[in-house]
Structure 1
């Protein structure tokens, strides 16, 4: 989110400094281990749907400016046990935005994608214009273009403290020096806790495991299989086709182990559930993609209590903008979130509806 905002600010001619504790793209945030799904028929109502559509348009623009393919519109198939979740409302809302969706029964799913063993009573919603983003390439493209537009980047420069003077000017303290600005955007992911007590957000960090499994390429290769999500008694999962023969990637959206930034992140395989949950889901629904584990990795979610985002001003310092709690489903929106943050920093307002992401929805004692 920060790299996207930096790109839009620099592109508009504003003097922009980017500070990162590491060297983006890197493995210490939530953007590595690409790809990431991008969907438009989104849960959460019209605000999320319109944001997803704007984000897709901005990704297309970034592709054009960078000259790289960043988005694959190969479709996303969402499948669920209707006793636990129904796509009917989401499909109806999507139709109001002109988003093409198809409601499919299990028979039709198995016919179109023979690698899926969907129970008879399950339902599915297919989005043919959705797909996935190459997340690390997206961050790298924003970085390159932001620097070309005049932004300055200081990697390996963790922020130790932020202070705001009486007149509203902010000072950002790092081991490399103190920097002053009229506007500051803080998009620290799981690391917001390091800035307490200046800001205290209701965000908890969770360790998540993802795996790539050997699959029958004639069934699961990227040319013939879409991105996917599952929702059933065993939890919620998401995944991707075998891209370039790398194997089917799958991760679990719910669950996970809490983690405090700065502490060691236990590697993949530290828990039997790391591979076990992923494999059991593939064996149940996509058995011909449940082959040898080709690769395992861990990543991080930064969860808010309602798993919706925080995009707002600091409750006491309006010149400080906060963007966090993207809760494992935020990357697809990074382009639009960067635009929103640039709007707020430059103009003090944005044309996007961000009321859903306001801090006021939480108990004030947790954020002030």
Structure 2
């Protein structure tokens, strides 16, 4: 058995949340921060890989996200300035759907509540503004100018470089944690598959698909589901350049879809937010195209709404870690152990602000009120199904 490497701060999972938290925590303390990852970030085994994610402030998933989104936007801008490169493209986002669609209604209500700039247009008006749309007249679109696209590859590579350059942060890769032991004094002892052991007094567990089994090893069952998701890039014409077409989400009878303009010639990108194939932690993701629905669920939407989009270039797979209500799960589930997961496919845009808040929580023990809606206690409350 190897000797235990102890540090006051231990972060298990060096994805977007873990690296962001380490980055901000190093600004508050001179003590050692130990960060563990089963692979070597950035990698394609979590939920942080890929080129792009949408960021928007008017939030159809609920108004509680808006204060976080506003802070995240400011922190991404500050991070871009520090990095000396463009990490955020303010191309705008359009959320489309029937006028009575709950998501569209919530986007409008959250904008009203927080006085966000939002323009509501009919399908015909959207078609006139953006030549790349082919929407029915009865469709409603909410146009948000303070929104856009995060450059994920750039962000993750810069965070990795930034964290690796700070002497007080010890990043251990290939450190796949397979079991936890709760410590009487608070915190945990983490056992890695290769025999290494790490302990920490103040711990952030942000380990994606391994979050559920690791917490089960200390007797805590979390209601998390791992889901295989796909997205793809397609040929497109000049109507879909970033100066001509925004990021978007669209809800129709067949599902909930999201997408991006043609950024740097990569092609028109689209994915489906709902649906997907549940699978257990650790099971390999089947490649794009191995299931018939991978392309079949995208093509009708492209044919229906996007007249300038053509043949498939290539597709990819990723994973969502979902909670039953698709809201985040963020809580201190053991003394000194902060759990962050269940980001349900819409969490990356908040990685900057959540990393900032996790850093404060680890350092001073104070949980931000902005995180209150995401407590694990909601799943055991009366009436929750």
Q: TM-score range by the shorter chain?
A: over 0.9
| Residue number in structure 1 paired with 2:255 | 235
Alignment partner of 2:315 out of 283, 288, 296: 296
Cα distance in 2 for partners of 1:95, 1:226 equals: 22
Q: Which of 265, 273, 282 is matched with 2:285 structurally?
A: 265
Deviates more, 1:139-148 or 1:82-91: 82-91
CA RMSD of aligned residues (A): 1.6
Alignment of structure 1 residues 27-66 onto 2, 5 Å = 27-66=44-83
| Correspondence for 2:361 among 344, 347, 350 | 344
58-67 vs 248-257, greater mean Cα deviation: 58-67
Kindly state the Cα deviation for residue 293 of structure 1 after the two structures are TM-superposed: 0.7
CA contact (8 A) 1:85 1:231 kept: no
Number of the residue aligned with 2:28: 12
* Aligned equivalent of 1:80, options 97, 114, 132: 97
- Unpaired runs of 5+ in structure 2? 1-16
Counting only pairs closer than 5 Å after superposition, residues 131-142 of structure 1 correspond to structure 2 as: 131-142=148-159
Q: Classify 1:212/1:238 alpha carbon distance in 2 versus 1 (closer, same or farther; 3 Å).
A: same
Q: Report what 1:125 is aligned to.
A: 142
Contact 1:159 1:173 in 2 (8 A): yes
Contact persistence 1:47–1:354 (CA under 8 A): no
User: 5 Å matches for 1:191-210?
Assistant: 191-195=210-214, 196-198=216-218, 199-210=220-231
* Cα deviation code 1:276-321 (max 9, x no counterpart): 11111111000211x111110011011100000011101xx22011
Where does the alignment leave 5 or more consecutive residues of structure 1 unmatched? Answer: none
**Secondary structure of the equivalent of 1:87?**
helix
Matches of 2:22 and 2:65 in 1, distance apart? 22
The aligned residue for residue 305 of structure 1 is 324
Deviations 1:161-182 (A, max 9, x none): 2212222242222225211211
SS across alignment from 1:334: helix
The equivalent residue for 2:111 is 94
The question of whether the paired residues in 2 share the 8 Å contact of 1:100 and 1:129 is answered with yes
Change (3 A) 1:16 1:347: same
Q: Structure 2-normalised TM-score?
A: 0.90
Aligned equivalents of 1:84 and 1:342: distance in 2?
A: 37
Is residue 198 of structure 2 the alignment partner of residue 179 of structure 1? yes
Q: How many residues align?
A: 361
The structure richer in strand per residue is: 2
